[in-house]
Structure 1
Amino acid sequence: MNKRSLLWALLALLASAQENNGVPVSGPFKPGFGGTPESQQVMEAAGRHPNATSTVTFARTFNNEEENWTWRINITELNVPNSIYDLGMPEADFSEGLKFANVQWQLQWPGSESGNSDIRSLLAERNATVMFGSIIYSLPANVTDSYSDDDKGDCAPFLGEDCARSVAEDDPVYWQDYCEGTLNVNIDGIRGGVSTSFDSQWDTKFTADDTLFFHTTDTYTASGEEEPPSPFEQAESALNILIFRFRYDSETQVGPNDPTALCRIVRKSMDSPEQEETPPSAAVSLPQSMMPVWVIVILAAALALV
């Protein structure tokens, strides 16, 4: 096994260790701090009423025909109940004033609103496996200033052609080779990997209403404008990168095998146009002792092909 393959394999193992009920997870806490499906459902439902959101529709080609996919990022600020047993309860006591931010990704694919509502149906039709990698990376404002929503998710105008290609195809441990001044700004931060894959035989249904990826921040208290950005504000200005790649088992159905990397920032700064803001719909609880320090680099992920 060559160096690159070995690193991909190691990062894939790290990714699998961070899955929660089949959903890739990053951050200090998994969705559902009580460790039950019910607590995860509370988190997932809250993410459907975000305080900030961003959606991008992008084109991919299959059998020489262009088709549209949509990636949505939801960021929700949630209150932390004083007791873990009050998870999702309207009478929960929030007197300690703690909050945390919950980031969720969703994905829509061709036909996801009709016959292909389960991604396994699409993959069965195409005899394909799809593999996803997830990256959330916090960068300083002087780097993100060059980002534009007008790029429609294309990473190249922001990161540069070589950097975008290395993120999609190469080993992220060596981003500094091609990402001078962008992703390598915080290269000394803590890195982890989150990835997942689907095929037609996967034992769990996955629809466009489900969550592709969760990220949670550390807890924090409300701060004034003079304070440093809160974890919620950092999540808003972080660079989200979705990497995915299809592997086709049929020689008669042809699609691009090159991995796709998409970049999105929900809000570059507090001076950006306001996003739709909705009060959080649920409260999520966690033990008060579980408060690790927020790190600037949230994670760097790998997409492993087997």
Structure 2
Amino acid sequence: MFRSRFSLLALSPILLLILSSCTKERHTAVYFDEAGVAWLDTVPIPSDLSSPEERAEYRFLHYWDRLVFTDKTYTHDVDFMTRVFDRYVSHLSEVDSAAAYPAVEDLMRRAQADSVTYYVFTHLADNLYERGDYESYLPFARAIIASDYPSEDDKMIPEYQLSLVLKNRPGTPATDFTYHTVDGMSSMSSLLGERPLILFFYNVSCHTCHRVMADIESSEILSTAISKGKLSVLTVDKMGPLEDWTSSLKDELPKGWIHGYNYTDLYDTDLYNIKGVPTIYLVDKDGIVLLREASVASLEQWSRTHLSL
């Protein structure tokens, strides 16, 4: 799998010198830690915009207006830019994609005012992917790929990561796959139709995976939903060895769940984006992805909201 293109801890001495320089030409008016972040985040909104949607969209579109992108004192200060960027991303969920995508494209275009500034922004965008904030990462990846500014090599990572983000995205049909059990071969789709399904991808040798299984078993709301037939669970070992998986069926894997293995399609990222194990998906009875990279807490929250127990 590709690694992140830009590590601030591994910058060359020359680039560090560039980052430490500052221009005398134009400056952003306010700096210094949270005061500067708050100032940039405070966008004057016209009084004629009355609806929350209009105000949120205007704030998002004009968030960066007070930042001078050639002012290296600010744009090369990665700690400061991280705080400003994270505040910006927190507003992303307040606007729909029709407004968000052009705004992000405009941001990345403005960042081209300085090559180091541009790579700071691509690094911050890449962090969204690394921490699993895929929906926020989407517009940045598309903006980078669509731009003529970076080289084709610079686009390889976002192109690859975008392909993974779009796999089994919440709201889309879950990719069907086959798996083996002690009784033979079956398919994920054969378990659909009556109740939602938890897909639990793991490695049989992963201690954390077994601990998370135990957490699901000990969760009152999840164990109740499973025992009452409101939820099904399919665990899929994706690495083996087969002898260890077979042995684990006796006393290591939860009773009442469906246990299988697939050592071909799921070993890397052919069908599902599995960056680490365990990786948990929640699929509704019609096969639509509800949660991706779910936690026990998010499964519990969904169950409280949607299941009658």
TM-score (structure 1 length as normaliser): 0.23
More strand per residue: 1 or 2?
A: 1
Larger Cα Rg: Structure 1 or Structure 2?
2
More helix per residue: 1 or 2?
A: 2
TM-score (structure 2 length as normaliser): 0.23
